[in-house]
């Protein structure tokens, strides 16, 4: 148990569907992240939120839309996805203090399959 | 962009020692992390190095040489539960974190 909970664990969706991934952290952290993990590839940072404000968007297609209503919750809204978007989507949180030593706490991820 | 290299796979026997190397080329350096990820589970933090040298934590140790852009994770007295993927990650001068593709370690009986 890492203190970061993601739902659902598995998601199958068609290319025309709309779905949302949910993440909740119980650690009191001030930063939350979405990462994409594809087989045999490095973790790709998608979005970063600090104190609920989006501070980073790594050229992610607009079919992925993040939402951070408060510092404990993070959503990733999905619509009109492509088969190449099939991957494990990981949420993470950290307590950012500017030292560089801050470690990430990850959720177990949502395994997304786009059919 | 940042470049972080680590071997794709390694296999070792229970009770043995395995060393996972990580080389990096980044714009500046502000620390290197190792994470462990069991299949279907969340990555979890193992170690952090920002100064040169060896950090020991039980059966696991991590080494850093900033001048060589090189780190290794040493797993001693391997156990079956150590079968997992090990991720190397580096913070650059802007504190951005980049990950390697991970090394899958398989421990055989």
Residue B18 pLDDT grade (very low, low, confident, very high; cuts 50, 70, 90)? very high
Q: Which of B1, B24, B43, B47 is the mutation pick for testing A, counting most A CBs within 10 A?
A: B43
Q: Which residues of A13-37 are buried (b: 16+ CB within 10 A; e: fewer)?
A: beeeeebebbbbbeeebbbbbbbbb
Which pLDDT tens digit goes with each residue over B22-39? 999 999 999 999 999 999
Condensed to tens digits (0 to 9), the pLDDT of residues A19-70 reads 999 999 999 999 999 999 999 899 999 999 988 778 777 789 999 999 999 9
Pick from B4, B42, B48: which is nearest to A42 by CB?
B4
Contacts of B68 (CB under 8 A, 6+ apart): B23
Point out the residue among A42, A90, A107 whose CB comes nearest to the CB of B100. Answer: A42
Q: What is the pLDDT of residue A54?
A: 80
Distance from the B81 Cα atom to the nearest Cα atom in chain A, whole angstroms: 17
CA atoms of A113 and A10, how far apart (whole Å) = 8
Cβ of residue B99 closer than 8 Å to a chain A Cβ? yes
Between these two residues, B1 and A114, which has the higher pLDDT value? A114
Which pLDDT tens digit goes with each residue over B36-77?
Answer: 999 989 999 999 999 999 999 999 999 999 999 999 999 999
Task: Read off the pLDDT band of B1 (50, 70, 90).
Answer: low
- A101 contacts in chain B (CB < 8 Å): 31, 48, 50
**pLDDT score of A100:** 81
Cα atoms in the 13 Å half-sphere on the side-chain side of B3: 3
Whole-angstrom distance, CA of residue B18 vs CA of residue A32: 33
Contact by Cβ (8 Å): A17, A63: no
Q: Are B96 and B8 in contact (CB under 8 A)?
A: no
């Amino acid at each position: 148990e890492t203190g970061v909970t993601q739902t659902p664990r598995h998601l199958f969706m068609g290319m025309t569907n709309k779905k949302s991934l949910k993440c909740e952290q119980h650690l009191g952290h001030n930063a939350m992240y979405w990462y994409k993990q594809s087989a045999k590839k490095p973790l790709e940072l998608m979005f970063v939120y600090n104190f609920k404000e989006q501070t980073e968007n790594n050229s992610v297609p607009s079919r992925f839309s993040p939402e951070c209503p408060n510092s404990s919750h993070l959503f990733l809204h999905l619509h009109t996805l492509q088969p190449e978007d099939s991957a494990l989507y990981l949420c993470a949180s950290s307590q950012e203090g500017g030292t560089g030593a801050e470690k990430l706490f990850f959720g177990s991820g949502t395994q997304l399959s786009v059919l | 962009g940042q470049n972080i290299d680590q071997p794709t796979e390694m296999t070792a026997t229970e009770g043995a020692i395995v060393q996972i190397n990580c080389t990096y080329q980044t714009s500046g350096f502000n620390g290197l992390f190792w994470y462990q990820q069991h299949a279907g589970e969340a990555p979890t933090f193992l170690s952090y190095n920002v100064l040169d040298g060896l950090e020991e934590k039980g059966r696991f140790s991590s080494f850093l040489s900033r001048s060589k852009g090189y780190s290794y994770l040493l797993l001693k007295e391997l156990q079956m539960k150590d079968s997992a993927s090990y991720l190397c990650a580096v913070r650059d001068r802007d504190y951005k974190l980049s990950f390697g593709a991970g090394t899958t370690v398989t421990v055989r009986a």
